[in-house]
Amino acid sequence: MNGLSSLRCAVLGGGGFIGTNLCRALSGCVRSVRGFGRRKAFPEALDHIEWVSGDFLQVEEIAASITGCDVVYHLVTTSTPGSANRDMVADLQANVVSTLRLLDACRAEGVRRVVFVSSGGTVYGMPKELPTPESAATAPITAYGVSKLAIERYLALYEHLYGLEYRVLRVANAYGPFQMAMKDQGVVAAFLRRMQAGLEIELWGDGSVTRDYVFVDDIVEALKLAAVHEGRSRIFNIGSGQGRTLLDVVRSIERVVGGAARIRRHPARPIDVPVSVLDIRLAAAELGWQPTTTFGDGLSRTAAWLNETVEC
Amino acid sequence: MNGLSSLRCAVLGGGGFIGTNLCRALSGCVRSVRGFGRRKAFPEALDHIEWVSGDFLQVEEIAASITGCDVVYHLVTTSTPGSANRDMVADLQANVVSTLRLLDACRAEGVRRVVFVSSGGTVYGMPKELPTPESAATAPITAYGVSKLAIERYLALYEHLYGLEYRVLRVANAYGPFQMAMKDQGVVAAFLRRMQAGLEIELWGDGSVTRDYVFVDDIVEALKLAAVHEGRSRIFNIGSGQGRTLLDVVRSIERVVGGAARIRRHPARPIDVPVSVLDIRLAAAELGWQPTTTFGDGLSRTAAWLNETVEC
């Protein structure tokens, strides 16, 4: 694999949170970048990016998006941990079956490498080791994690059978600019928005649920490195390496917005593992990557972006 | 879980190789047994067994087969290691999606436990440890292995979310009476048939490919124990624990049939790992199971059965 500057890249799911950040960051430092997705969450942020509108469930539309590309970033996810459990068949069809069709399209189009964003927070399930290394047992308690793992395995199979290179980044809880606030994902974005507006926030469980929060610019840096990595490993944890409870997150946001949170409590959800913290030493050793944004800095930058942004 | 004798059992895939043996063995030692499948490979062998004809791809037909059952044995596989790689989407749809529909039907019908026959020869991929324990990394080099692993994970998820109990037996290379000889599975049956008939046998690679061959009566015993097991483990390797090369198998069959094999050689296939031998100590410790049939005895019993049987 040559240097990043020579690569023609496609970003599937380019209109989403990480995708929007990735498209913007790649632009100017790769030979070409093309975004693909059903919609752009923040269209003006991608004004200068080549864009193909399409549905990941339609194989012809996928194929059109990757023509002439060396590297395909696969950031599409059509479900959340909550929705996947409610309809596991739909989750499997939309994510895994569609990815198999994508991989066939990549073979046909001569793509050299697929970089897939997997889920550091769900593939391990209840962790037996903390922080959790890539070599730990994978025992997801959500269909979301099961289908991500199946995709990882099919990627390995396509490399073995057909030489299609791949890298997987198991990303922890991402946060930062361009994150949408959704009911069961994107807790930092949701809390920040509501607390800035003086609204109540909703907390599932007692607030002790512990996650590994990683700023999106750090993730984007890892995604760039994954496109050109030449080492033996294929799967890398990408997180901060540090655990933070939900209550810690609320307290940190209180400092950023300068006011106390009003909290509405709900019962804990069965899809939440109590703790998830990733061991990120492999990415440090092999990708030469490490996160450089503190949680406080990341929150401040996210809050500043929110203040400038009109909600879509 | 009560003793075996109180259980009402369904055997999905009951007309196949292991299924036919299992239905016959359960009959008389459980409260009731019902076979389900598209066809019976050896109809006369199942004459006295309650039978529901149906297609595993049709959810209503699955549901009809498990009504009133405590334990569902899931032995259906609609692909082989070779065919699964040729059409991974079809493999995923037919095996994994249909299993999810089965699991929903099991919840709706109040089934207590699902016992699933997984693939000890493919889920581990290239083994890093020999013999290979259940805790080893799973890195299949066939889509067949990927979909079996996905099913294992969904079983774990259904137990976690809904309390539907499960046990998985990762069965090594099975052989014995009622095995069909197919192009890329059932090598013992295929070789025995052809060598008894004085025909050439076909060998892929140099004959050094090493497998763990386990006699079907031993597998059936493990399946019975899995229905009533109360320990903590969920996944058990079921094999002989010993490796045997393809050439060893040919030599052993020569002794049974009393004549030298005529061998036609083909290039090695990318779907074959060079060696697969299972560590079976967990099944010994937790299920109280171990194989009791030597390879020579198993071959003789298979040959005797073949001599009595008119090929379907």
Q: What is the pLDDT of residues B57-99, one digit of tens each?
A: 888 899 999 999 999 999 998 888 888 999 999 999 999 999 9
Q: Which residues from chain A sit within 8 angstroms of residue B135, using beta carbons?
A: 137
Rounded (10°) CA dihedral B161, B166, B171, B176? -140
The pLDDT of residue B269: 78
The pLDDT of residue B173: 96
Is A269 in CB contact (< 8 Å) with chain B? no
Q: What is the ipTM of this complex?
A: 0.90
Q: What is the pLDDT of residues A81-134, one digit of tens each?
A: 888 999 999 999 999 999 999 999 999 999 999 999 999 999 999 999 999 999
Running DSSP on this structure, what letter comes out for residue B48? Answer: T
Is A90 in CB contact (< 8 Å) with chain B? no
Is A142 in CB contact (< 8 Å) with chain B? yes
Q: Between residues A180 and B137, which one has the greater pLDDT?
A: B137
How close, in Å, is residue B101 to chain A by CA atoms?
A: 8
Q: With a cut of 70, say whether residue A307 has pLDDT above it.
A: yes
- The whole-number average pLDDT for the span B103-121 is 97
Residue of A161, A166, A235 to mutate, interface with B, max B Cβ within 10 Å: A161
Peptide bond into B133 cis (omega under 30): no
The pLDDT of residue B312: 45
Q: Between residues B312 and B178, which one has the greater pLDDT?
A: B178
Running DSSP on this structure, what letter comes out for residue A240? Answer: -
Residue with tokens 């560590």: B279
Give CB contacts under 8 A, 24+ apart, made by B33-40: B33/B8, B33/B9, B34/B8, B34/B9, B34/B10, B34/B65, B34/B69, B35/B10, B35/B11, B36/B10, B36/B11, B36/B12, B36/B62, B36/B65, B36/B66, B37/B12, B37/B13, B37/B76, B39/B15, B40/B14, B40/B15
Q: What is the pLDDT of residues B219-267, one digit of tens each?
A: 999 999 999 999 999 999 999 999 999 999 999 999 999 999 999 999 8
Tell me the two tokens of residue A146: 């099961």
Alpha helices in chain B (DSSP H): 17-26, 59-66, 81-86, 88-91, 98-109, 143-162, 187-196, 216-228, 246-257, 281-282, 295-308
Q: Between residues B307 and B24, which one has the greater pLDDT?
A: B24
Contact between A141 and B149 using a beta-carbon 8 Å cutoff? no
Q: With a cut of 80, say whether residue A184 has pLDDT above it.
A: no
Residue A312: pLDDT band by 50, 70, 90 thresholds? very low
Q: Which of B89, B142, B160 sits opposite A100 (nearest CB)?
A: B89
If you compute the radius of gyration of chain B from its CA atoms, what whole number of angstroms results? 19
Which percentage of chain A shows pLDDT scores above 70? 97
Q: Measured between alpha carbons, how far is B40 from B47 in angstroms, rounded to an integer?
A: 10
Q: Please report, for residues A162, B32, B191, B234, the alpha-carbon distance to residue B7 in angstroms, rounded to integers and kept in the order given.
A: 47, 7, 37, 19
* Fold of the A4-177+213-240+277-282 domain: Rossmann fold (3.40.50)
Tell me the two tokens of residue A196: 């800035």
Q: Measured between alpha carbons, how far is A74 from A105 in angstroms, rounded to an integer?
A: 13
Q: Which of A88, A135, A161 sits opposite B85 (nearest CB)?
A: A161
Q: What is the pLDDT of residues A1-11, one digit of tens each?
A: 559 999 999 99
CATH of domain B4-176+213-240: 3.40.50.720
Give me the phi and psi of B36, to 5 degrees please.
-140, 140
Residue A183: pLDDT band by 50, 70, 90 thresholds? low
Q: Which of A89, A139, A154 sits opposite B146 (nearest CB)?
A: A154
Closest CA to B20 of B225, B170, B220: B220
Closest CA to A179 of A41, A49, A37, A12: A41
Running DSSP on this structure, what letter comes out for residue B178? Answer: T
Amino acid at B47: D
Q: With a cut of 90, say whether residue B39 has pLDDT above it.
A: yes
The pLDDT of residue B292: 98
What lies within 8 Å, CB to CB, of B217 at 6+ separation is B21, B25, B176, B293
Q: Measured between alpha carbons, how far is B124 from B8 in angstroms, rounded to an integer?
A: 33
Q: What is the pLDDT of residues A8-25, one digit of tens each?
A: 999 999 999 999 999 999
Q: What is the pLDDT of residues B152-183, one digit of tens each?
A: 999 999 999 999 999 999 999 999 999 987 65
Residue B186: pLDDT band by 50, 70, 90 thresholds? confident
Q: Which of A93, A146, A160 sits opposite B150 (nearest CB)?
A: A146
Closest CA to B246 of B238, B254, B257: B254
What is the crossing angle of helices A295-308 and A187-196, to 10°? 60
Query: Is B70:B7 a contact under the CB 8 Å cutoff?
Result: yes
Q: Between residues B120 and B312, which one has the greater pLDDT?
A: B120
Query: Is A246:A188 a contact under the CB 8 Å cutoff?
Result: no
The residue extents of the domains of chain A are: 4-177+213-240+277-282
Query: Is A101:A60 a contact under the CB 8 Å cutoff?
Result: no
Contact between B97 and A85 using a beta-carbon 8 Å cutoff? no
Which percentage of chain A shows pLDDT scores above 90? 85
What lies within 8 Å, CB to CB, of A244 at 6+ separation is A210, A211, A212, A213, A252, A295
Find residues 176-215 of chain A whose CB sits inside 8 Å of chain B.
Answer: none
Contact between A137 and B135 using a beta-carbon 8 Å cutoff? yes
Query: Is B32:B50 a contact under the CB 8 Å cutoff?
Result: yes
Q: Measured between alpha carbons, how far is B301 from B223 in angstroms, rounded to an integer?
A: 20
Residue A59: pLDDT band by 50, 70, 90 thresholds? confident
Query: Is B10:B36 a contact under the CB 8 Å cutoff?
Result: yes
Is A228 in CB contact (< 8 Å) with chain B? no
Query: Is B123:B149 a contact under the CB 8 Å cutoff?
Result: yes
Q: What is the pLDDT of residues B261-302, one digit of tens each?
A: 999 999 887 777 899 999 999 999 999 999 999 999 999 999
